[in-house]
Structure 1
Amino acid sequence: MDKRLQHQGQRLRIAVGFAWQSILTNRRRIALAVAGVAIGIAAVTSMLVIGDSVTAQATRALDQLGADVVTISVPPPGADPSGQSAEPLSEAAQARLDATTDAAVAALRHMPEVQSVARLERRFGCGDGPETALGSPDIVAANPDLPGVLSLRLQHGRFLSPLDARQPWIVLGADVAAELRKTRLDVQPGAALPLCGKTFFLAGVLAPYIGDDLLQSIRMNHAVFVSYASLRRLTGPPSPSASLLLTRLQTGVTAPDMPGLLASRLRTMLSQTVEASGARQVSELRQQQVSLYTRFLAVLGCVALLVGSLGITNVMLASVSERKTEIGLRMALGAHTTDVVAQFLTESVLICLLGAALGLALGIVGAGVALTVAQIGITLDITTPLCSAVLALLCGLAAGAYPAANAARLDPVTLLQGRG
């Protein structure tokens, strides 16, 4: 048994030696075949890395936000089906929207499935007001329940309290605070900060929040939080967008149709159009979109691998044609047909493994760049290089099978006579 293993190992070393020598001799021609495989492996690798990273990001976001958070939208009077109004709201229309929203909040708080409710009102930038060192963040009015509903954490200071209803206090999102630090402005609690031509005092700074991906149109990291009175004073005419209610369900309430149930109850109570969506629904939708994207990349990768494999087949057929004398000499000296087959299969597999190594590196780097631009953390699973290696091995065997079989069928006598 040991002698047989030693013999097989020796044959493998000889096959690898012949294959490597051939690759070095024809490196320019083989470089094109390697490039074809590398492109396919890079596409497959980037597909796996991006898919894993986005899925992991969505999972982390869902863990932080919580699957039991429901976003409810109350559209303003005269809004279109999307919840938007073409014109800024009049004071009367805003008063009606406020009354409807307050009624919705009260109704939700009396529902047994609901633990807490936070109301949000958002503006984009300062409107017609002057820009300041804060740039043009989302200006969000929120009640003190928001941190509890979204599990927000604070880096410094505190969140807004009921006592701040008419006071010039603000809370900064993590990205806004980071930008301010670059300008060397003081972002410690109590610091005076300019916003839309007025001076506010910093109450606190939120820790980075990854649940933004599951909150429709709300960017907690890029927001400045103020009281409702301050929001109206800062931004002038009310925005025509809908009021948003964030609702956290009671522990143990996990029915997937709960958003629809809450919306249906509110429509009945308020005689008003209300839309609702759950964090889990948004997460599943995002993952479906990523799945479609990764499947598209998989198709491209498979096509590239097919083209690369055909290129390797052509290279190997040319190699067989050029090395007929060598093949005939080996067979005349006692090499079996299996040795000839192993020689060319090994060469094909080595070419594919070289392409896989290059493609794996390119795919990881490319995916890393794309994920960095998208501000998504990279997640690299051990199965990614394993999949690349297995694909390369299969491609090498498939691409080298026909040329190897052709080489094994050659007659050594005919080859040595120069008639092959």
Structure 2
Amino acid sequence: MNVVEVTLIAIAAYIALCVLLVGWAMIMAVVGAVMMRLSHDMLVEAPSFLLLRRYGMRRGLPLYICDISRRLRRRSVPEGTVALHAMIASVPVVGFLSGAFLPFLASFLMVPGGDLSGALGEFQDRVLLFTGIPGALVGTWVWWRGVGYMARPWIKRRGRTRRTLLPQALSRRVRNSLVVDSYWLDNTHMAMAFSAAYPFFVAYAFLIPLESPSPQASSPPGQLAGWQFLATLCVILIPAAVAAATEKWISKRWAIAQAGVELLRLLYPVESRKGEEGECLPHLAVEPNASPRAELASICDLLDGAARRIDAQQRRGFAPHPVSTLLRAVSRRIVNHLMGPSYGADLPEDLARVLQLTLVVLTGPADVGPYEKLAALVLAFDSDGAPAAGPLPRSPGLISRMVSRATASVQGLVALVGGLTALMIPLIAVVLIIIGKIDIEKFVGLIK
């Protein structure tokens, strides 16, 4: 085989390895996050958690521990308290297993019983440490930050986690469920970052025992500088791209939770809050002089995605589900509002009422009253009970819109072709440098 074939095989093998490692790490990170989220769900419903919400983490944590101790002494512990704190204590273990499960699985597949010996066993131990320990640290840190956020979600914090109001108009169960969803949806990038770094943890465990090459065996300085730069760039970008694609694919499954969180932030914006227990009118926009069109359009897409997810879970021949029909009718109502003569910054009263009922429906109401009221407001079913709202056509993607705009005229088409040609020239040059057809020093000289 020549150099080109070897290079292509090596690139294909590296991409396949990245897809395997990053994809598996992303899945295990999501599984670990689901288990940690379950402990958050139980924690925010505990009676003692109200101390953290009232006094904050710094003052409330000692009071929380004292309250739990007092309940234990009096044997008046609420049901599920022991299981809750057992799950809290297992958070580092869950993080460790999320990172180290793949090496465990690989060892069991290679050798019955997973008992590797010799150099292979030492490599397995190193991989377990260098993947499990970062998983335990990252998992514990994310879980602890979540407790602080859920105690007082309206306080501004660093990072991507957005503030969320806890309106008294909603029940305590609904408020707690929405604030937990809000935190985990805003921190999916942590799983993506850990998954993108996962191949480097494995590579570091493999490279530690290797001796560094002697200066005589190394290449002269500058001879492989271009190759090393391109290889390093690909090594970094490929895992990141795989992690981002996996995160985007998984996030589509969270449309129901994300739609509820976005509705909460639209109807009860934190920016209008006057005090910790204050309320804002549900028909106000986030900013007095800004229209909530972008938020409504995003909610419309999320509702359509949630309806598709609900229908996908039904048996063949029994779709659409009545709830998915409701969500599509609400989405159609939002589209009519956005395409109609709506020029102000405030939401109409009827649309605000529809969105409030939709928020209740998404959080699972205790009775069928909200479903019936919402169906009557948005006319989701006709007089015969058949669905009156079908799926909306999907809007074109970003690339399709860009190409459509660029080719709208002859000048735009010429500019697009010229831009693609200018983009292909450096790519062709990079490929020729990689396969050794062009010397990088001569290429740099030509550019200068």
Q: TM-score, normalised by structure 2?
A: 0.21
Structure holding more helix per residue: 2
Greater gyration radius? 1
Structure holding more strand per residue: 1
- If asked which structure has higher relative contact order (CA below 8 Å, sep 6+), I would say 1
